Structure formats: structure tokens, C-alpha cells
Structure 1
Amino acid sequence: MIGELMTLCMMAFALGMDAFSVGLGMGFFRLRLKQMFYIGFTIGVFHIVMPLLGMIVGRFLSEQFSGIASYIGGALLLILGVQMIATSFKQESDPLISPVGIGLLFFALSVSLDSFSVGLSLGIYGARTLVTIFLFGFFSMWLTWLGLLLGRRFQKWLGIYGEMLGGTILFMFGMKLLFPI
């Protein structure tokens, strides 16, 4: 149980680093603390819903394709990790979606899409659902808030390293699942 909890915390942290880096960039837009609260809370909720949906689909796939399900889950984490590392090198301009109203929902959805893939992998492996979605929501919400607050104080170079770290963690878990030692 302790090993699984530590693994889930590390994965939640990795996914939250994506939200952190986005929050860090958004922190440069003079947002009020109330706006920051809603942004972090909404991203946290989406990081609960998306992996939950992924876990449901993953459990279904695990039942249907039990022989190759673990390889599919590992490959998904590898791909997601590489994608996060690659996008950390892209220079982006201002966001196309403003984090207010319906824009906030689209924004939170776009930030949490990768948690669906991780949830899919974890569903294939039969991870504890409630613990997983709680940790994913908790870490992403707090890391978003931290990113928003730090974004007020620092420059964008931190966001690149945060997303790169998150991608590296997911990549390493994918390697572990594909090539168990």
C-alpha cells in the first residue's frame, strides 16, 4: 500500500507540474486572488473527472485485452512523458483562451487531458480509484495555485523546467511498466 501511494503521489505531482507551468505563465496576467482560487479549484476538479473517466475505460480494456493491457498502459505513459518534455521546449505566446467563464472550463479541460491517459493506464493496472483521483485533484489544484502565485514574482523560465520534470517522471514510470526489473 505504501509503495502504491508513493507511486501515485509521484504521478500526481508529475501531472500537477503541467498545471503548475500553465499557472506560472498565467500568473503574469494580473489576476485577483479570487480568480486564482477559481482557476486552481476548476483545474483540480478536472484532474479528478478526467482520470476517473480514463480509469473506467482502462478497467474495461483490461478486462477485454488482459494479455497486452500492461504494455498499452506503459506505452501511453511513455508517449505522454515524451510529449510533455517536447512541449516544454516550445515557445508559446499568449493563451488563446481566457481563464474566465466558459474559457476557464475549456482551459481546465485542455490542461487535464493528459490525466485521462494516465487514468487509462492506471485503470488497466487496477489502481485504487478514490486514492488516485483524490491525489490527482489535490496535487494539480495546489500546484496550479503555487504556479499562479509564483508567476506574479518570477519569469517564465521556471515553467519550462516544471513541465520537463513532469514529463520525465511520467516517462520513467512508462519505462518501469514496460520493462519491469
Structure 2
Amino acid sequence: MSLLSIFLIGFAMSTDAFAAAIGKGAAMQRPRLTEALRAGAIFGVIEGVTPVIGWALGLAAAAYVTAWDHWIAFVLLGILGTRMVVAGFRRDAPEDAGDGAEGRPHGFWNLAATGFATSVDAMAVGVGLAFLEVNILLVASVIGICTFAMVTSGIMLGRALGAIVGKRAEIVGGLILIVIGSVILYEHLSGKGGGIGIG
């Protein structure tokens, strides 16, 4: 596998995470670069680890992973997105914007769950790579680095969107996550492997 092919895989695997990061950034109140870097690191590590897990599973788990990855991503993103929408509707009082609850939907475990949901397909890709003569650590590293860069950028782009939509940014971010999960499910059920559903 050529270096160009590896970088293209890394980019493709990071597209879902990028879209989810825009939703997260929109839901945050003026996210700082350090927060974007933190989210990028969390997503990047998870996105880099999952293809290695898939590669290690190999043929034995191929049918299981490819059969259920889209459902897992759909359910996780749906739950997380719904929680964000509900939180957005509840955040009506001005004093709510400054309390400690603002950061909870964007804590480590929530970001990790979102990162896992957008990287489940990468596990199936890792299974496929087990058939090829590839350096899985190199491929995983490139995927992780691409995801780190894309998520960091996505969070900061979401910041601009959040400033536009104001206090309803949480709702917009949640709806974006739900749409991502729905697109992943649709593409797999309809037999379309490209686009947002491959990362």
C-alpha cells in the first residue's frame, strides 16, 4: 500500500469525526484552542486504536463487526445527540449558561463515546487490512493524526457556528450528531460505502 493510499485512508476515516466535532464545537460556549486540542487528542487516539483492534480480530470477527458497526454508531450518536437536544431546550434561563453543567456534555467520557461512535467503521476497515501487506501501526498512526487535525479544526469551526445560533447551539449540535448516525445507518443499509459513513 502506497503512502498516498495510507493518507487517503486517514482522511476518509476522519470525516465522521470532523462532522461530529463541528456539532460539539457549536454546542460549546466559545471553546478555546486547548479544548479543541483536547478533543482532537481524544478522538485521534480512539480513531487510531480501533483499526488496530479490527486488524487483530481478523477473519474470525469480520462478519460480526461489519454486520453491526452501523447500528452501534447509529445508537450511540442518536443517544448522545438526543441528550444534547434535550439539554438545549432546558437551557432557557440566563443563569444556566454560566453554571457547571455547561461542560458536562463535553467531558472526557462523552467525547470518548462520540469518538468511539464515529470510529466503529474503522474497526471493520482494520479487519479488511488484515488481508493486506500493510504496516498497521503506520496506518493507525496516520488515521489518528488526521483525526486529531480534523477534530481540532472542526471544534473551532463549530465555535463560529455556535456564536451565530446562540443558546440553541446545543440543539444544533445534537441534531448534527443524530444526522451523522442516520447517514451512517442509511449508507450501510443501502449498500453505499462512501461518504460520511466510512469513518
TM-score range, shorter-chain basis?
A: 0.5 to 0.7
- Given the superposition, is the C-alpha separation of residues 130 and 43 from structure 1 closer, same or farther in structure 2, using an over 3 Å criterion? same
Residue 43 of structure 1 deviates from its aligned partner by 0.6
Equivalent position of 1:20 in the other structure: 18
Equivalent position of 1:38 in the other structure: 38
Cα distance in structure 2, aligned partners of 1:48 and 1:10: 14
Q: Deviations over 1:68-110 (max 9, x none)?
A: x8xx7xxx4xx97x98xx99xx9x5527882213333323222
Cα distance in structure 1, aligned partners of 2:106 and 2:159: 16
What is the aligned counterpart of 2:6 among 5, 8, 32?
8
Residue 113, structure 1, aligned to residue 120, structure 2:
yes
Cα distance in structure 2, aligned partners of 1:20 and 1:102: 18
How many residues are matched?
153
More helix by percentage: 2
Cα distance in structure 1, aligned partners of 2:15 and 2:120: 14
Could you tell which deviates more after superposition, 17-26 or 144-153? Answer: 144-153
Equivalent position of 1:129 in the other structure: 136
Return 5+ residue gaps in structure 2 as ranges.
88-103, 166-171
Alignment of 1:76-155 (within 5 A): 76=66, 93=82, 94=84, 98-154=105-161
Equivalent position of 2:51 in the other structure: 51
TM-score normalised per structure 2: 0.59
Which protein is bigger by CA-based radius of gyration? 2
Superposition CA RMSD, Å = 4.0
Residue 7 of structure 1 deviates from its aligned partner by 2.1
